[in-house]
Amino acid sequence: AQRVTQPEKLLSVFKGAPVELKCNYSYSGSPELFWYVQYSRQRLQLLLRHISRESIKGFTADLNKGETSFHLKKPFAQEEDSAMYYCALKGWGKLQFGAGTQVVVTP
Amino acid sequence: EAGVAQSPRYKIIEKRQSVAFWCNPISGHATLYWYQQILGQGPKLLIQFQNNGVVDDSQLPKDRFSAERLKGVDSTLKIQPAKLEDSAVYLCASSPLEGLYEQYFGPGTRLTVT
């Protein structure tokens, strides 16, 4: 069975501080991992995917197969980063989401 | 391009009543998904269509939920009869094809069953 775990329901950080959202997964095959974000009053949207190895809005995420993790990081949080973040795993054709982490960036 | 459209945006019904949700995907997108998002949880896939055929409905409670995608475009999701535990946001998403393509989500329909 595939599973995605986001251990933090809420992450509160100060503007300019680093932020790291944790995501751990269990999957027997080769995973495809994603981070989705939902800003207030907006739709759920893709933030980044591990195969792209890109930085989006200053965020990066590295797939660590040894630790089965796909943590999302940003060195300097901005107020506009306040949102709900979901880690998702694509396995056996199905996208499975974690429960999400609410990020609040305070000035 | 226009995004995924859903209606209604909000619906309140009593238990044992029926309800239907409508989704219009992005033009040209072959794959359509319905998700259920219960408060405090991530979205859970209910059903996936490729054109007008069902690819995966393993998590659809088929005794009360049904979905169709006639002509491979619009889709409707129906609940009959509704239970209290069906209270959730129902999200529709579409993508050009199944696979690595990004899924584009609609605004969702918030269902409250009283």
CB contact under 8 A, B45 and A86: no
Residue A2's pLDDT is 85
Do the beta carbons of residue B45 and residue A95 sit within 8 Å? yes
**Is residue B1 predicted with pLDDT exceeding 70?**
no
Q: Which site among A94, A96, A101, A102 would you substitute to test the B interface, given the most B Cβ atoms closer than 10 Å to its Cβ?
A: A94
Question: Does A97 touch chain B if contact means CB atoms closer than 8 Å?
Answer: yes
Residue A1's pLDDT is 77
Chain B hits for A9, CB-CB cut-off 8 Å, are 40
Q: Which pair of structure tokens corresponds to residue B69? A: 């995608």
Residue B98's pLDDT is 63
**Is residue B94 predicted with pLDDT exceeding 60?**
yes
Residue A58's pLDDT is 94
Q: Please give the average pLDDT of every successive group of 10 residues along chain A, which has 107 residues.
A: 93 97 92 94 93 88 92 97 96 89 97
- Measure CB to CB from residue A32 to each of B40, B98, B100 and give the nearest one: B100
